[in-house]
Amino acid sequence: MILSCDIGNSSSSFGLFEEEGYDIIKTFRIDTAKISSPNDLKKFFAKNYPLKDINGVSISSVVPSIDPIYKDFFGKIKIEPFYISSKIKLNIHICLESAEKLGSDRIANVSYAFFSKQKFQIIIDSGTALTIDIIDGKGYFLGGVIFPGLPALAGSLYQSTEKLPIVDINKTNIEKAHIIGTNTESSILSGIYFGYIFLLEGFINNICEYYNRNTENTDIVITGGNLELIADAVKTKYAKTFDGFWTLKGIKYLYDLNR
């Protein structure tokens, strides 16, 4: 088995794969803050999956402070984790000013997108942060957008004001949401949620217009922890792919590419 680890700011996701292929066998998740020592990892894996079956580990981490914990833990069980970065062997060309500063999750996302389809794609990853990344049909990573995610937007509004309440952006609340709020809470929900959706639609349309794309040569990939909150709401004429495990698959793909 190969273990993919996606260590994010709020939560960390793990996916198990067979040696060959990208059909995910099992996933599990934990709040990133709950892992503060190798012993925490030991307990977590003991609860979720026996590591004796693991032959390789591939890691994407955007939380450098926690990396030594993983290295220490896997070192004790004689597994050398493979870390995603711009310095490894890639199937894409990174056309950014500072490739070394590029988040490993974004590298995994666009690499797997180009591996899956050699065409122009926009990859939307909605989590603690929202990233929108662009890969063209020749494998050139053209750049992207970083924006606060839904929970961050709600938290920022609450923390920056005295009277406005915190609003939980969840599936139940969203199903009841209306474009025009009739009280403070529903107005905040409308502003954050629908504003977020309109932002995504606006970026998709403007990016495609800028690069002169059409519906036959463009795909939109939507992934991330908030996938179920936005997937159906984002309206676009371009083909959409929904995959909550896209990043984990990309982490596994880059592990395979570098073996």
- Who's near 247: CB < 8 A, 6+ residues apart? 6, 13, 60, 105, 108, 109, 112, 125, 223, 224
Give all domains of the chain, ordered by start, each with its CATH number.
2-83 (3.30.420.40), 93-150+183-246 (3.30.420.40)
pLDDT band at 211 (very low <50, low <70, confident <90, very high): very high
Kindly tell me if the per-residue pLDDT of 163 is higher than 80: yes
**pLDDT in the model for residue 140:** 98
**pLDDT in the model for residue 51:** 81
- Who's near 91: CB < 8 A, 6+ residues apart? 111, 114, 115, 139, 257
**pLDDT in the model for residue 44:** 93
Q: What is the pLDDT of residues 132-151, one digit of tens each?
A: 999 999 999 999 999 999 99
* Cross-strand partners of 3: 16, 57
**pLDDT in the model for residue 65:** 94
Kindly tell me if the per-residue pLDDT of 53 is higher than 90: no
What's the mean pLDDT in 111-120? 97
pLDDT band at 112 (very low <50, low <70, confident <90, very high): very high
Residue/partner pairs of 146-153 with CB below 8 Å, 24 or more apart: 147/199, 149/224, 149/226, 150/126, 150/192, 150/193, 150/196, 150/226, 150/229, 151/10, 152/128, 153/192, 153/196
Q: What is the pLDDT of residues 66-85, one digit of tens each?
A: 999 999 999 988 999 999 99
Q: What percent of the chain has pLDDT over 70?
A: 100
Kindly tell me if the per-residue pLDDT of 50 is higher than 90: no
**pLDDT in the model for residue 141:** 98
pLDDT band at 248 (very low <50, low <70, confident <90, very high): very high
